[in-house]
Chain A
Amino acid sequence: MLPPARTALIGLVFALTASVAFGQDSAVPFDMSGERTPGTEQKPVVEGGTPVTTTETKEPEKKVATPDPLTRRYIVPATSLLLEGEAASQSFPVFLTPQQAESATSINLGYSNAVVVAPESSRLTVVVNDVSVGELPVQSAEGTKDMRFDLPKGLLRPGLNRVTFNAVHRHRTDCTVRSTYDLWTAVDPARTFLTVPADTSGRLLTTDDIAAIGLGPTGQTKFVMVAPDMGQPVATNALMRLSQGLALMAKMPNQTFDIVDALPATAGAGEMTVLVGTADDLAAMLPSLPVTARSSAVATFVDAPAGNRKIFVVSGPDWPSIEGAVEGMLAPIDRPLGVTREALSVRQRNATEMPLVSGEMSLSFASLGVRTGEFTGRRYRTGFDIGIPSDFYADAYGEARLLLDAAYSPEVLPGSHIDIYVNGNIATTVPITSRNGGIFRHLPIRVTMRHFRPGPNRVDIETVLMTEADKICAPGASASEEPRFALFDSSEFRMPRFARVARLPNLSALSGTGFPYNGQVDPTALYLDRLDADTLSTSATFLGKMAVSSGRALLVRPESSALAIGERNAILVGTISQLPPLVLGQTHIAAESASSWGGPADGGGERGATQEAFDEWQSRVRGGSWRGQISALETWLQETFDISLSSLRLLPGEEELVVPDDTARFLVAQGNSPEESATWTVLSAPTGVDLKAGMVAMAQDDRWQQLDGYVSLDSKGVQALDTRAVSRTRFVATQPWTFANMRLVAANWLSSNILAYAVLFCALAILLGIATSGLLRRFGRGG
Chain B
Amino acid sequence: MRHIGTVILWAMISAVVILVITLPINLQTQLVASIAVVTFMAVIKVLRAEGIWRLIALAFGTAVVLRYVYWRSTSTLPPLNQLENFIPGFLLYLAEMYSVMMLALSLFVVAMPLPPRKSRVAETGKLPSVDVFVPSYNEDIGLLANTLAAAKAMDYPPEKLTVWLLDDGGTEQKRNAAAVIEAQMAEARHRELQALCRDLNVNYLTRARNEHAKAGNMNNGMQHSTGELIAIFDADHAPARDFLRETVGYFADDQKLFLVQTPHFFLNPDPLERNLRTFETMPSENEMFYGIIQRGLDKWNASFFCGSAAVLRRTALNEAGGFSGLSITEDCETALALHSRGWNSVYVDKPLIAGLQPATFASFIGQRSRWAQGMMQILRFRFPLFKRGLTVPQRLCYMSSMLFWLFPFPRTIFLFAPLFYLFFDLEIFTASGGEFLGYTLAYMLVNLMMQNYLYGSFRWPWISELYEYVQSVHLLPAVVSVMLNPTKPTFKVTAKDESIAVARLSEISRPFFVIFAVLFIAFLMSIYRFYSEPYKADVTLVVGAWNLLNLLIAGCALGVVSERSERAASRRVTVKRRCTFVAGGLHHPATLENVSAHGARVQVFGLEAELATGVRGELRFTPYGSDHEEALPVDVRNVENQGSVVAVGCRFLPEEARHHSLVADLIFANSNQWSDFQVSRRYNPGLFRGSLWFLGVALYQTSRGLVYFARSFGGGKREAAP
* Binary B-proximity of A759-783 (CB < 8 A = 1, otherwise 0): 1111011111111111111111101
| Residue among B14, B20, B26, B533 making CB contact with A396, cutoff 8 Å | B26
Residues of B within 8 A of A781 (CB): 114, 298-301
Whether B59 contacts A761 by the Cβ 8 Å rule is no
Q: How far is the CB of A286 from chain B (nearest CB, A)?
A: 61
- Chain A 396-411: CB-based contact to B (< 8 A → 1; otherwise 0): 1111000000000000
Chain A interface, DSSP helix/strand/loop, else mixed? helix
- B626 CB within 8 Å of chain A: no
Residue B32 at the A interface, CB < 8 A?
A: yes
Which A residues are in CB contact (< 8 Å) with B52?
769-770, 773
The CA-CA distance from A291 to B533 in the complex, in Å, is: 82
Q: Which of A112-120, A544-552, A739-747 contacts B (4 or more CB under 8 A)?
A: A739-747
Are A770 and B79 in touch, CB under 8 angstroms? no
Inter-chain contacts of A744 with B (CB < 8 A): 24
Q: A757-B29, A769-B57 in contact; A764/B13 too (CB < 8 A)?
A: yes
Distance, CA A543 to CA B426, complexed state (A): 56
List the B side residues contacting A132 at CB < 8 Å. Answer: none
* Interface flag for B536 (CB, 8 Å): yes
Residue among B23, B36, B59 making CB contact with A747, cutoff 8 Å: B23
Question: Residue on B with the closest CB to A415?
Answer: B535
Beta-carbon contact of A771 and B13 below 8 Å: yes
Do residues A765 and B533 form an inter-chain contact, with CB atoms below 8 A? no
Question: What residues on B are CB-neighbors of A431 within 8 Å?
Answer: 535-536
Structural contact, B28 and A750, CB atoms closer than 8 A: no
**B718 CB-CB contact with A under 8 Å:** no
Interface assignment of B3: CB less than 8 Å from any CB of chain A: yes
Contact A765 B13 (CB under 8 A): no
CA distance A136 to B75 in the complex (A): 48
- Asked if B32 and A776 sit within 8 Å, CB to CB, the answer is no
| Bound: A642/B30 CA distance, A | 13
**A-side contacts of B2, CB under 8 Å:** 778
Give chain A residues whose Cβ lies under 8 Å from the Cβ of B60: 762, 765, 769
Q: Is the CB of A641 within 8 A of B298?
A: no
Shortest A572–chain B CB gap in Å is 37
Cα distance A780–B113 in the bound complex, in angstroms: 10
Residues of B near A747 (CB, < 8 A) are 23-25
Which of B4-12, B210-218, B365-373 contacts its partner? B4-12
Separation of A441 and B82 alpha carbons in the complex (Å): 8
Q: Please, which residues of chain B bring their CB within 8 A of the CB of A441?
A: 81-82
**For the complex, is A266 an interface residue (Cβ under 8 Å from B)?**
no
User: How many whole Å from A600's CB to the nearest CB in chain B?
Assistant: 46
- B434 near A: Cβ within 8 Å? yes
Q: Is A755 an interface residue (CB 8 A)?
A: yes
Contact A778 B63 (CB under 8 A): no
Residues of chain B lying within 8 A (CB to CB) of residue A746 = 23
Is B111 close to A, CB under 8 A? yes
Task: State whether B25 touches A767 (Cβ < 8 A).
Answer: no
- B19 in contact (CB, < 8 A): yes
Tell me if B79 and A442 are in contact (CB < 8 A).
yes
CB distance from B85 to the nearest CB of A (A): 11
Residues of A near B20 (CB, < 8 A) are 757, 760-761, 764
- Which A642-694 residues sit within 8 Å CB-CB of chain B? 642-643, 647-648
Distance in angstroms from B1 CB to nearest chain A CB is 10
Contacts of A774 in B (CB 8 A): 6, 9-10
Q: Are B536 and A433 in contact (CB under 8 A)?
A: yes
CB of B91 within 8 Å of the partner chain: no
A750 near B25: Cβ-Cβ < 8 Å: yes
Contacts of A414 in B (CB 8 A): 533, 535-536
Question: Within the assembled complex, what's the spacing in Å between the Cα atoms of A329 and B387?
Answer: 78
Q: Is the CB of A4 within 8 A of B9?
A: no
B56 at the interface (CB under 8 A from A): yes
B623: Cβ under 8 A from any A Cβ: no
State whether B32 touches A769 (Cβ < 8 A).
Answer: no
CA of A746 to CA of B19 in the docked complex: distance in angstroms? 10
Contacts A750-B23, A754-B29, A761-B20 known; A433 to B425 CB distance under 8 Å? Answer: yes
- Quote the shortest CB–CB distance from A490 to chain B (angstroms): 13
Identify B26's interface contact among A3, A751, A778, A783, CB under 8 A.
Answer: A751
Residue of A nearest to B34 (CB): A758
The answer to whether B31 touches A641 (Cβ under 8 A) is: yes
Contacting residues, chain B, for A442 (C-beta < 8 A): 79, 81
Evaluate contact between A771 and B9: CB separation under 8 angstroms: yes
- Asked if B3 and A758 make an inter-chain contact with CB atoms under 8 angstroms apart, the answer reads no
Q: Is B122 an interface residue (CB 8 A)?
A: no
The chain B residue with its CB closest to the CB of A448 is: B26
CB-based nearest A residue for B63: A765
Total cross-chain contacts (CB, 8 A): 161
A20 within 8 A of B: no
Contact A766 B31 (CB under 8 A): no
Instruction: Judge if B58 is at the interface, Cβ distance under 8 Å.
Output: yes
Contact of A773 among B26, B55, B301, B393 (CB under 8 A): B55
B37 beta carbon closer than 8 Å to chain A: yes
Note all chain A residues with C-beta closer than 8 A to B16: 764
Cβ-based interface call for B17 (8 A): yes
Q: Give chain A residues whose Cβ lies under 8 Å from the Cβ of B62.
A: 765, 768
Closest CB of chain A to B113's CB: distance in Å? 9
Q: Tell me whether A207 is interfacial, beta carbon within 8 Å.
A: no
Complex Cα distance A180/B486, Å?
Answer: 67
Q: How far is the CA of A766 from the CA of B60 in the complex (A)?
A: 7
B531 within 8 A of A: no
**Cβ of B640 to closest chain A Cβ, rounded Å:** 49
> Are the C-beta atoms of A751 and B29 separated by less than 8 Å?
yes
Contact A778 B6 (CB under 8 A): yes
**A1-13: contact bitstring with B at CB < 8 Å (1 yes, 0 no)?**
0011000000000
- A354 CB → nearest B CB, Å: 26
Q: Would you call B444 an interface residue if the criterion is a C-beta within 8 Å of the partner chain's C-beta atoms?
A: no
Given contacts A397-B24, A442-B79, A746-B23, contact A770 B56 (CB under 8 A): yes
Shortest distance in angstroms between A235's beta carbon and chain B's nearest beta carbon? Answer: 51
0/1 interface trace, chain B 45-76, chain A, CB 8 Å (1 if under): 00000011101111110110000000000010
Q: Is the CB of B29 within 8 A of A778?
A: no
Q: Is the CB of A773 within 8 A of B112?
A: yes
A761 and B63 CA atoms in complex are apart in Å by: 8
Cβ-defined contact, A769 with B115, below 8 A: no
Query: What residues on A are CB-neighbors of B434 within 8 Å?
Result: 641
Contact A757 B56, beta carbon cutoff 8 Å: no
* Chain A hits for B36, CB < 8 A: 758-759, 761-762
User: Is A343 in contact with chain B by the CB < 8 A criterion?
Assistant: no
Interface residue? B700 (CB, 8 A) = no
B423 within 8 A of A: no
Asked if A443 lies at the interface with its beta carbon under 8 angstroms from chain B, I say yes
Contacts of B693 in A (CB 8 A): none
Q: Are A780 and B300 in contact (CB under 8 A)?
A: yes
Asked if A434 CB lies within 8 Å of chain B CBs, one says yes
A643, A751, A765: the one within 8 Å of B59 (CB): A765
Which of the listed residues B25, B27, B29, B535 has the most CB atoms from chain A within 10 Å of its own CB? Answer: B29
Say whether B14 contacts A768, CB under 8 Å.
yes
A775-B6 in contact (CB<8A): yes
Query: How far apart are the CA atoms of A771 and B63 in the complex, in Å?
Result: 14
Task: Name the 3 nearest CB pairs between A and B, nearest first.
Answer: A769-B56, A769-B59, A758-B36
Q: A434-B425, A762-B37, A765-B56 are in contact. List 20 more A-B contacts (CB 8 A).
A: A415-B533, A442-B79, A641-B27, A747-B23, A751-B26, A755-B32, A757-B25, A757-B33, A761-B33, A761-B36, A762-B36, A765-B59, A768-B14, A771-B9, A774-B6, A775-B10, A776-B111, A778-B6, A781-B299, A783-B112
Q: Return 27 A-B CB contacts under 8 Å, by A number.
A: A3-B534, A396-B26, A397-B23, A397-B25, A417-B535, A433-B425, A433-B533, A643-B28, A750-B25, A751-B25, A751-B26, A758-B32, A762-B36, A762-B37, A764-B17, A764-B63, A771-B6, A772-B10, A773-B51, A773-B52, A773-B55, A773-B112, A774-B10, A775-B10, A778-B2, A780-B112, A780-B301
A residues sitting closer than 8 Å to B (CB atoms) are 3-4, 396-399, 414-415, 417, 431, 433-434, 441-444, 446, 641-643, 647-648, 743-744, 746-747, 750-751, 754-755, 757-762, 764-781, 783
